[in-house]
Amino acid sequence: MSESILKCENLCFSYEDELSLNNISLDIKRGSIAAILGRNGAGKSTLFLTLNGINIKDKGSVYFNDKLVEYNKKGIAEIRRNIGIVFQDPNDQLFSASVIKDVSFGALNLGLSQDEARKRAEKALKEVEMYDYMERPTHALSYGQKKRVAIAGVLVMEPELIILDEPTAGLDPMGANEILVLLKKINKEKGTTIIIATHEMDIVPLYCDYAYVLDKGSVVMQGSPEEIFCHADELRKYDLRLPRIAHLMEILKKYDNIAVDESIDTISKARRAIKELINGKSN
Amino acid sequence: MLVTDKYAYTSKLAKKDPLAKVIFTFAALFLCLILNSVFVSIFILIFFAGFTIISNPAVSFIKYIKFMLIPFSFLIMGIIPVLITFVKDESIIILIERFNIGITYQSLSASVNLFFRALSAVSITYFLALSTPMVSFFESLYKLKLPKLFISLMELIYRYIFILIDEAEAMYKAQKLRLGYRNFKSSLYCISELAAMLFIRAYKRADFSYQALLSRGYDGEITTISQEYEKAYIFYVLIFFIAGFCITLKAVL
């Protein structure tokens, strides 16, 4: 499980003479869910577009499954097949007025037959629980439903790695949660590696195994969520914040002198710690 | 077009082979235009109005009349110049004596003919619009072997019209909230701003969409699976039936 699926070394890309990605090095483990954090304009989207060859990198190397990715026509086609990107706004991604047609697009681009593509598209729609909406016109779907269809449109290509740009943006709490549960399920059942770009900090300790913090086109922090949230001040420097629970723990420790573990970042961990504190006192 | 498309999905004929429907529609249009007879036009009008209302449970008689009223005003405007002409000899009524302008028997019959011909053509088009979702309509174009690029463009335009409308609506609301459109001058200014912004946004979105297509393996051609439809040979039979009936009608009357 710990072998790397995607590795970047010193990846650089400049956009109109402005350095947008500055020596990015990443190592994403197979089967993991990684988070890429950073304020707006930190270079998250640019990074993804550079990875799959839409932006042409200036220098640096990308390894997929320990194999150097050549950014020529064949290499780009292969990397795009292996890395699926779900864009932030599903309206940008869904180009067809028919749900099933849109989902089938990626499958047909893999060179599959019509029948095979239809089967795969139906399967992908079942996976995102949108099978019943197959015949509906795209514009009649809600935002959350469109997001699911967009995910299906990527799943249909059966990529080994899926990158999602702000998967929870614009969704209500319920919808956001459902999308994350869905991603976790895909990750577990199919072993698909997932990268989530977000600035929604509360989801990071719940769903992610590893996190990178991007700022001004460079990786400025990396580590497991606990490790990153131990450095609250550094995070704030990059306009990010702690998960609410971790913030609470920080305040309890700093101002109320309660001995809580600062690495606590989820509700369940906090619950356990509080129970221990209470029980410890009563004993 | 956007409203009728919503109703098209509720039609009982929505899942029938769109190509048959398209051929049926165009055959009827052709007949109606070429036979050029009031009685044929009236027959076609009644037939297609009835067919549409019966086949689509969501379209009631009243609803259908409302749909018909949309082109009605244009039709009236178009007919007035045909109806009112310079009178040379006989006339039904002279409207402006000094210029000899009025209605003649000839102009009356020409305008009645035009009126029903246009209305029946509209009813035929409505039949297609209210029974065939746009998605299926595109499918039939593929089967007609029209250039793929052309149809892909149509599909993309159709999809993005909705997004464009949404954005325009949101911008319009935002402008109104900040007291835009309060007088003529401000309206002109606001509408120009809206158009400019819409253009810029469309341009940006096109860029994003292109990137999204590329990352899903787009290589210059949009290929999607073709949908399966129920066979509908009945429409081909109907063509002969209607053609026969119309031609006899024309010959007899």
Q: Over its length of 283 residues, how does chain A's per-residue pLDDT go in tens digits?
A: 468 899 999 999 988 878 888 889 999 999 999 999 998 888 898 999 999 888 888 889 999 998 899 888 889 989 999 999 999 999 989 988 889 999 999 999 988 999 999 999 999 999 999 999 988 888 889 999 999 999 999 999 999 999 999 999 889 999 999 999 999 999 999 999 999 998 888 889 889 999 999 998 899 999 998 888 888 889 899 988 888 888 888 888 888 888 888 778 888 888 888 888 888 755 4
The predicted pLDDT at position A47 comes to 92
Paired tokens of A82: 């292996």
Looking at the DSSP assignment, which residues form a beta bridge with residue A194?
A33, A162
Residues of chain B with pLDDT under 50: none
Paired tokens of B92: 């039904």
Non-local (6+) Cβ contacts of B118 within 8 A are B71, B75, B78
Q: Which residues of A touch B6 (CB under 8 A)?
A: 140
State whether residue A93 sits within 8 Å of chain B by CB: yes
Q: Which run of H or E residues covers position B202?
A: helix B184-215
Ordered domains of chain A (ranges, CATH): 4-242 (3.40.50.300), 243-283 (no CATH)
State whether residue A133 sits within 8 Å of chain B by CB: no
Neighbour count for residue B29 (Cβ, 10 Å): 16
Q: Residue A242: what are its φ and ψ, rounded to 5°?
A: -80, 160
Residue type, position A96, single letter:
S
Quote the CA–CA distance of A80 and B216 in Å, as a whole number: 7
Paired tokens of A261: 């573990």
Q: Is A111 left (phi over 0), alpha (psi -120 to 50) or beta?
A: left
Q: Which residues of A touch B215 (CB under 8 A)?
A: 49, 52, 54, 80, 83-85
Quote the CA–CA distance of B152 and B147 in Å, as a whole number: 9
ipTM above 0.90, yes or no: no
State whether residue B212 sits within 8 Å of chain A by CB: yes
The predicted pLDDT at position A1 comes to 47
State whether residue B154 sits within 8 Å of chain A by CB: no
Substitution target from B164, B225, B226 for chain A, most A beta carbons within 10 A: B225
Q: Is A65 left (phi over 0), alpha (psi -120 to 50) or beta?
A: left
Quote the CA–CA distance of B20 and B128 in Å, as a whole number: 11
The predicted pLDDT at position A103 comes to 93
Neighbour count for residue A207 (Cβ, 10 Å): 18
Cross-chain residue pair A95–B158, CB shorter than 8 Å: no
Looking at the DSSP assignment, which residues form a beta bridge with residue A63?
A7, A68
State whether residue A192 sits within 8 Å of chain B by CB: no
Looking at the DSSP assignment, which residues form a beta bridge with residue B102?
B85, B94
> Look-up: residue for tokens 């514009």?
A139
Domain boundaries, chain B: 2-139+229-252, 147-215
Cross-chain residue pair B215–A85, CB shorter than 8 Å: yes
Cross-chain residue pair B135–A98, CB shorter than 8 Å: yes
Substitution target from B4, B134, B215 for chain A, most A beta carbons within 10 A: B215
pTM of the model: 0.85
Cross-chain residue pair A108–B223, CB shorter than 8 Å: yes
Cross-chain residue pair B224–A102, CB shorter than 8 Å: yes
Quote the CA–CA distance of B98 and B94 in Å, as a whole number: 10
The alpha carbon of residue B185 is apart from the nearest alpha carbon of chain A, in Å, by 34
Cross-chain residue pair A109–B219, CB shorter than 8 Å: yes
DSSP state of A211: E
CA angle (B32 as vertex; B26, B37 as ends), nearest 5: 175
Cross-chain residue pair A95–B213, CB shorter than 8 Å: yes
Q: Which residues of B touch A77 (CB under 8 A)?
A: 217, 219
Do the beta carbons of residue A170 and residue A204 sit within 8 Å? no
Strands, sheet with A67-68, edge to edge from the N-terminal-most edge strand: A18-29, A4-15, A59-64, A67-68
Non-local (6+) Cβ contacts of A81 within 8 A are A110, A157, A159, B217
Residue spans of beta strands (DSSP E) within B101-174? 101-103
Closest Cα in chain B to A104: B224
Size of interface A-B (CB pairs under 8 A): 95
